[in-house]
Amino acid sequence: MEENNDSPAYKTLIIDNVKYKTVLTKKFMARKVYEPIDFNKVISFIPGTILKIHIKEGAKVKQGTKLLELEAMKMVNNIVAPVDGVITKINVKSGDMVPKNFILIEMN
């Protein structure tokens, strides 16, 4: 007897303690896994150029402290500290061009 490789592979999905047998789509299986936001990493939300850095490594910052200026699409965006902390690493310097989702600053 031949095996049929085209038959769907059923998976068990549990929602509110109720088990369902279902077939998951390729798109669902290839989805990006959710990662919680790490507030100790300041990430660029848009590609652009670093104009000015207002802090140094080792500096203690409060939430809302201006960290750097990012120019994107002819606009200057002030990047501020998302939480209180100490600057552990600055991964950019003035004049650097950064892509989207680049780690600009790491904090503790």
pLDDT tens column, 72-105: 999 999 999 999 999 999 999 999 999 999 999 9
Contacts of 48 (CB under 8 A, 6+ apart): 70, 71, 72, 73, 77, 97, 98
* Domain span including residue 89: 41-107
pLDDT tens readout for residues 12-55: 989 999 999 999 888 988 999 898 999 999 999 999 999 999 99
53 part of a folded domain:
yes
- Specify the CATH number for the domain of residue 89: 2.40.50.100
Assign 77 to helix, strand or coil. Answer: strand
Contacts of 13 (CB under 8 A, 6+ apart): 19, 20, 21, 22, 24
Output the pLDDT for position 1: 46
What's the gap between Cα 82 and its chain centre? 13
Give how many domains the chain has, as a whole number. Answer: 1
Output the pLDDT for position 5: 59
pTM: 0.70
26 part of a folded domain:
no
31 part of a folded domain:
no
5 part of a folded domain:
no
Task: Single out the residue of 42, 62, 58 nearest to residue 50, CA to CA.
Answer: 42
34 part of a folded domain:
no
Of residues 70 and 6, more confidence is placed in: 70
30 part of a folded domain:
no
1 part of a folded domain:
no
